[in-house]
Amino acid sequence: MSASAPETTAVPEPKNAFDRFFEITARGSTVGGEIRGGVVTFVTMAYIVILNPIILSGTPDVAGDALGFSQVAAVTALTAGVMTMLFGLVTRLPFAFAAGLGINSFLAVGIVGQVTWPEAMGLVVINGLIIVLLAVTGLRRMIFEAVPLALKTAITVGIGLFIAFIGFVDSGLVTSTGLSSPPVGLGVGGSITTIPTALFVLTLVITAVLLVRKVKAALLIGLLSGTVIAVIVQAVTGLGAKADGNPGGWGLSVPTLPAQWVSLPDLSLVGQVDLVGSFGRIGVLAALMLVFTLVFTNFFDAMGTMTGLSREAGLAAPDGTFPRLRSALVIEGIGAVAGGATSSSSNTVFIESGSGIGEGARTGLANVVTGGLFLLAMFFTPLTSIVPTEIAAAALVIVGALMMAQIRHVDLSDMSVLIPVFLTVTVMPLTYSIANGIGAGFVSWVLI
């Protein structure tokens, strides 16, 4: 009697060449799910078209020159759209790109006081070229694969808490008290006293209930519902923005229908880069130190983010790697080059992609949708201001909760694992930096 062949799981046959290219059926997804996921990712990321110019255009450089708001908004949408689509087509992964908040803040606060904006963007381009070189030679993947699985999982969980914390802060639910103890508190004076924060809570509840009831497109429905309610509330109350001197007003954007819906993008910042000027202005050593800081931040932020997103999408192997890892690392480096070349700051994988993954995105088709919407946003920049930050924040908190579930894969009974994992998970949100959390985890793991 011959031995029976081992039972294998049949891989679903692709429906057509389009399906085969994006591996939609193979990953258990559908075209509809990819479209929904791509739309949700864009909705949760659209704030970057407003926030990035607020950060970059508000700071004059060492020569006293500043970037224009509308120009930065246009190149932010352009670069995010192109890089998101490129990443989706090359890697077939649902990780969207946009200007990284850590690096754009570092540029505005720590670099342009010493150099001009073109010189600062030149440093960003050099940073990207170094990352591409590390990826092409395989060194970046070697470092990625050398990270223990427990730490990769901890990075996922830490990013989840970081995302949730960003959501809580953006919503106004968690605020700075201005005191040494406690440094943060609930709302204003320990209570929720503003309408935007109350609408955040309402949107969070709506989305959570839809998820528990297993309603498809729960995140998208929650975001749209919250936005519609916010527009109505603004129309009735005339609340306005905090920037107008109203402490209880909206954060970055007021949910009102704009008077002008379409505008031609101003792409005059594209190519405004000086690769070598900073070395002559502040010296080779000082410039290299700035480049090193950019590389360190870019390298580990992206690695941690992609690890977390691949796990959330169910695409990670047991060792934490994921399909087309090398290509992903190369394209991520190209994002830094593209961001510097367009003066939109280094573009990298966005943790908000988790919202689209939570909606069902599993392939690069979702990226094509998200990228296409970013390119359209160049012409419809006024519309991006409709979704208030407080409403988008609810999706971030939900995604953070979903990512935190990965902690079940870590054996916390081993103290040598528990402590580095704990430090990784807690340092990220508490220091507002993915790189800091990864650093704390790496150092403690080696020492212990």
pLDDT of 304 strictly over 70: yes
Output the pLDDT for position 8. 47
SS3 274: coil
pLDDT at 407 over 70: yes
* CA–CA gap between residue 215 and residue 190 (Å, rounded): 34
DSSP track, 151-179 = HHHHHHHHHHHHHHHHHHHHHTSEEE-SS
**pLDDT value, residue 277:** 92
Neighbours of 292 (CB within 10 A): 12
List pLDDT tens digits, range 385-404: 687 888 888 888 887 888 88
pLDDT band for 11, please (50, 70, 90 cuts). Answer: low
State the pLDDT at residue 6: 44
Instruction: Give the whole-angstrom CA distance, residue 406 versus residue 421.
Output: 12
Query: Residue 10 burial by CB count (10 A; 0-12/13-18/19+): exposed, middle or buried?
Result: exposed
Query: pTM of the entire structure?
Result: 0.73
**Cβ-count burial of 6 within 10 angstroms (0-12 exposed, 13-18 middle, 19+ buried)?**
exposed
pLDDT of residue 336: 94
d(CA 220, CA 227): 11
Burial status of residue 68 (CB atoms within 10 A of its CB: 0-12, 13-18, 19 or more): middle
- Averaged pLDDT for residues 352-369: 91
Question: What local confidence, expressed as pLDDT, does residue 444 receive?
Answer: 95
Question: Within 172-217, where are the H helices?
Answer: 195-212
* 77-133 residue pLDDT tens: 999 999 999 999 999 999 999 998 767 877 887 789 899 999 999 999 999 999 999
* Across 155-162, average pLDDT: 83
Angle subtended by helix axes 31-45 and 364-377, to nearest 10: 40
